[in-house]
Chain A
Amino acid sequence: MSMLSPAPMTISSAQNTADLTSLELTVTGALDAPTVLAVRQASAQAAADGPILILVDVAAVTSVGASGVVGLLEVLHLLRLRGGDLRLFGHSSELQETRLQAHLGHVARVYANRQDAVDGGMARVRPRGLAPRLSWRTLFGRRHRSLGWG
């Protein structure tokens, strides 16, 4: 059953990061579907009273699946609908090394520490390399798995 309630983001609910109430969550172990569902439930609950900044510590993440990344983006979607935001922080070699990061990299950032995450967007970096566009040369090219085998 859907657990979301309508709370469309409006200008009047938008705030600076510094003005937002924040909640810190820590993900340990696998970043997969069950984990992010729990993050989503906690975020939905926290966002019920108004815009909130959810900070997720991913330093202790040991493995990452596409379901996990998709789930995090859904949490971002959920929070932004309510005028809040989601920020990831902490050094996770698993998250850095997975190929998923190549896709995630230009959509969202994993900040080095909590403070950077709260400040969000102060020190930008260029995204990682993305998959090349279609060209006639690639039409008959050998296929390769592009995602999910991190």
Chain B
Amino acid sequence: MGGRKWNKEPIGFDKNFKPIGSKDIPFAAEFLPLSIDDAAPGASAVSSQIRSEERVDMVARLGLFPRSYRRLKMGIYRQILVRILAVLVVSFGLIYISWRWSSTVAWDAWWISLPLVAAETYSLGESALYAVTMWNARRRPPPPPALPGRSVDVFIATYNEPLDLVMKTAIAARDMEYPHETWILDDGDRAEFAEAARQIGVGYITRGPEWDGRQRFAKAGNVNNALSLTTGEFVAIFDADQVPEPRFLDRVLGYFDAEEVAFVQTPQHFWNVPERDPLGSQAELFYGPIQQGKDGWDAAFFCGSNAVLRREALMALGLTRYTRTATEQTWRALRRGRSRLQDLHGELGRRHPAAMPVAEQALEAVARAEHQVRRGDVLAEITFELRVAFHAAALAVPDAMDDVVPELDAVLESVDVAHTDQALAIHPMDTTTITEDMATAMHLHAMGWGSVYHHEVLVHGLAPEDVSTMLSQRHRWAAGTMQVFFSDNPVLLRGLTVAQRLMYLGTMTSYLNGFAALSYIAAPVVFLVAGTYPLTASPVVFFCLFLPFFVTCQLLFQVAGNGSKGLWRGQQWSFALFPTWIAATCSGAAAVFLGKHLTFSVTAKSKQAAGRGFQHVRLQVAAMALLVVSSLIGIARVSFVEAPLYPTLITLAWVALDLALLSVVIGAARYRGPGDHLEEPMPTPKELTSVLGTPSESKH
């Protein structure tokens, strides 16, 4: 619906194929591979296929555009430098950490010494994983043209976003040039959305009554519901605030010529973020060098929006998971059912003895079904027979129906191989976590599917405009990721390559940084206040071993960042969000080990009245106050010759670094939103006004 049809506006190879022109030059350095031989070890067939295209493209470029060739050469130099720095980081790091563990642990103050050295070991591990990611960063050439004739469904997922915001995205999605059908997936089931969708000529999907009273699985359930009702070969997914450019599909569909490609992810770019980016929203490092690094190892991440997925890949994933677990689930459900029926049997003995034969016959049927499962019979037949047996048993004692039928129904629903206790039998998008995007991508990779990161901003979205919303969003990402870490650890997931395991592990373990940050804050405080040394070493030796590691780490970060903005801001938030990371890790662990429910909180797309203020970052402010007070105490102790000078100076420098990192929360807490000077990159369509009936707001 809403998509243009082929007979109206055919798009052929000739029309779409644009020779590389000056317009493409700014992107050239990003797309060009760092090296012709920059082959990803262990890369799949898709990689080699695309690399051969890179070579052809390269020749064209070399002849036509000497300037871009020069930039290519710079890329090669940069990559060599990254690899040298990566080796240095790991080497210096290993030397430093070996020395720390072997000679400097203050065992008499183990309670602070061990957490500190553990935190440093963790940081080395993270640096090594970053180095591995950057080792193989992949700059893709311009994408191949999208072949005509593909069928595409475009999904815009919404829950509680305002109508004008969703409609603006829907109109932009509808107007994408490549023929497609656009659907609004409204989890809020709002009548005005259905009407507006009809007016602008796009489809409208909401949950049907089959979902009533059953688990809904948030966004993943919303998308799965839509997948079961649509048929396009490809599915583009956008969040409600992510407005695509008309060329979006044309730019990414070409990658799917390689049949192994399961999804193509493009960057998330937020237009409502000012230059100083106080909330650290523009993840240029992630949607740039890091995704390119992961792409080099065939492990680009799917981030839930601004991506196109191959339906067949999603369905294959859902089917595999379903069938692999079907026997186990049926077996478990039968055992639970037997237990329930035994309870029912005992209860009937007291309440309604005449109905006891019903429970006895049902128990016999369950025993028969268990035997059939053990024998490996076809599950659909086993569960159908069970149903018939229960039916016969219940009919044998008609006056017992009210007593036994609800319990028998519950047992049947849980046992049925068709998952009749759920709204859908099969969930292609992962529903076991609140970060369904990452989990889905990981399982697709484990099945051998490939992925592509296309580094070109084609979609313009909205970032949180207050610190509270930002914190809630980061907590959700982190908690969901840690949930996957504990329940579906990539190290143990069958089918991933070693490099892919490391890529996922790197992202997941980055959230453990909260515990490391706590050590980095506590250790100087303990020394300055109590004079307890967290390590025993000569300051000179410490500097000789620590500085090379620290400096090369920072250099690697900067060089591999490849000019991305906000590198320092990213480091600040990584440190300053330590309460969020710790809380999220605990939530993820509680969800997996204690069965606690994790809530999928939709990120607010407008400024929240109560979202600003220092109360949202009180733990960070308290940590800063503690550091300042400790510093004053430390200075006083030096003045009264109660503490040594040089160790205190070193510790004060350490405190200064901590404060510099934590200070990011001050600007965030005071942030009042982007102001009116920012211009929306995608013009508000005139049609929106007529759909809404009132003048539309240009910004939220």
Contact = CB atoms under 8 A, between A and B. Distances in A.
A144 to B, nearest CB: 6
Interface in A82-119: 85, 100, 103-109
B43 to A, nearest CB: 12
B409 A147 contact: no
A29 to B, nearest CB: 14
B204 A9 contact: no
B319 A10 contact: no
Interface residues of A, number: 60
Interface string A3-29: 111101111101111000000000000
A124 B491 CA distance: 39
Contact of B378 (A9, A79, A121, A145): A121
B492 A11 contact: no
Interface stretch (B8-16, B245-253, B411-419, B580-588): B411-419
A124 B497 contact: no
A121 B405 CA distance: 25
B377 interface: yes
A17 to B, nearest CB: 8
Given A69-B319, A107-B378, A11 B208 contact: no
Nearest to B373: A106
B143 interface: no
B448 A145 contact: yes
A58 interface: no
A74 B426 contact: yes
B495 A143 contact: yes
A52 B248 CA distance: 45
B562 interface: no
Nearest to B419: A77
Given A107-B326, A134-B494, A146-B448, A120 B384 contact: yes
Given A107-B323, A127-B378, A148 B209 contact: no
Given A9-B413, A14-B388, A106 B327 contact: yes
A2 B494 contact: no
Contact of B408 (A11, A37, A79, A126): A11
A148 B311 CA distance: 11
Nearest to B391: A14
A126 B376 contact: yes
B209 A70 contact: no
Given A11-B409, A67-B312, A73 B206 contact: no
B412 to A, nearest CB: 7
B189 to A, nearest CB: 10
30 contacts: A1-B229, A2-B205, A2-B207, A2-B209, A2-B225, A2-B229, A4-B208, A9-B387, A11-B401, A14-B388, A37-B231, A69-B319, A70-B426, A73-B319, A80-B418, A103-B319, A103-B324, A105-B378, A107-B322, A107-B326, A126-B376, A127-B376, A127-B378, A130-B324, A134-B492, A141-B494, A143-B497, A146-B495, A147-B447, A148-B313
